[in-house]
Amino acid sequence: MNIKQVSFKGYFAQEHKKNQVYLHHTAGGPSGEAVFKWWDKVSVNVATCVAISHDGTIVQGYSSRYWAYHLGLKAGIFAKYNLPYKSLDKTSIGIEVCNYGYLTEKNGKFYNYVGGVCNDVYELETPYKGHKYWENYTDAQIESVRDLLLLWRGRYNIDLSYNPDIWEVTPRALRGDNGVFTHNSIRRDKADIYPHHKMIEMLKSL
């Protein structure tokens, strides 16, 4: 497992028991190091402990024992499901996969949301949240996600059982149930990560 440590200050050095992992993508470029540099400039304790570059390098800004805001949860979503608010940021670990997300096709080219051309395109059989084309998650990134999940299962006893409800808001996530989730599991307005078949196969294999 290729892990690169970087200097980063935007987190809380407070330990909490961990029982969830949330998978995100950055909606940005290929470099995990660039992600932490950007967070250092613009955010106040908003980050995940790791960001995975296109080549699979796991860039770590702080220990998974600590925490920062990475979910953006509002009390209203808990109320909608008749659940009490929980500060899930503290009891969860976030993984950011460097990826622009959905793409728009125009005249045979595929553009990300900031207008850049993407050449590594993944096409879903069924559109997800209104989008059929996405930037591809690389095999190296998926393998690094796998390595981290196995590491944290051993360290925090995270339940790695695959549940197909993780692609939409699920009360399991909001209750704080032990397991692996996506940002979609607690936010209807998010589309990270998307259901890439290789990512799903990896999650099912754990």
Q: Domain containing 142 — which CATH number?
A: 3.40.80.10
Token representation of residue 118? 């993407």
Residue 44 pLDDT exceeds 90: no
Tens digit of each residue's pLDDT (9 = 90 or more) over 112-125: 999 999 999 999 99
Q: Which of 135, 155, 187 is the last residue of a domain?
A: 135
CA 180/CA 31 separation, integer angstroms = 24
The answer on 75 and 40 residing in a single domain is yes
Q: Are residues 39 and 115 in the same domain?
A: no
Q: Report pLDDT digits (tens) over 145-202.
A: 999 999 999 999 999 999 999 999 999 999 999 999 999 999 999 999 999 999 999 9
Cα gap 105→101, rounded to integer Å = 13
Question: Out of 32-46, 85-99, 131-145, which region has the weakest mean confidence (pLDDT)?
Answer: 32-46
Domain assignment of residue 106, given as a range: 101-135
Q: Put the strands of the sheet holding 3-5 in their side by side order.
A: 3-5, 58-60, 50-52, 92-97, 20-25, 179-182
Q: Which of 135, 120, 7 is nearest to 62 (CA)?
A: 7
Is residue 46 domain-shared with residue 81, that is, in the same domain?
A: yes
Do 119 and 36 lie in one domain? The reply is no
pLDDT tens-digit readout, 132-144: 999 999 999 999 9
Q: Work out the average pLDDT over 11-23.
A: 97
Give pLDDT, residue 58.
98
Whether residue 74 is found in the same domain as residue 157: yes
* Residue 69 scores a pLDDT above 90: yes
Residue 43 has pLDDT above 80, yes or no: no
The pLDDT value recorded for residue 202 is: 98
pTM of the model: 0.97
Q: Going by C-beta distance under 8 Å and a sequence separation of 6 or more, which residues neighbour residue 127?
A: none
Percent of the chain with pLDDT over 70: 100
Structure tokens at 125: 């059989």
22 sits in which H/E element: strand 20-25
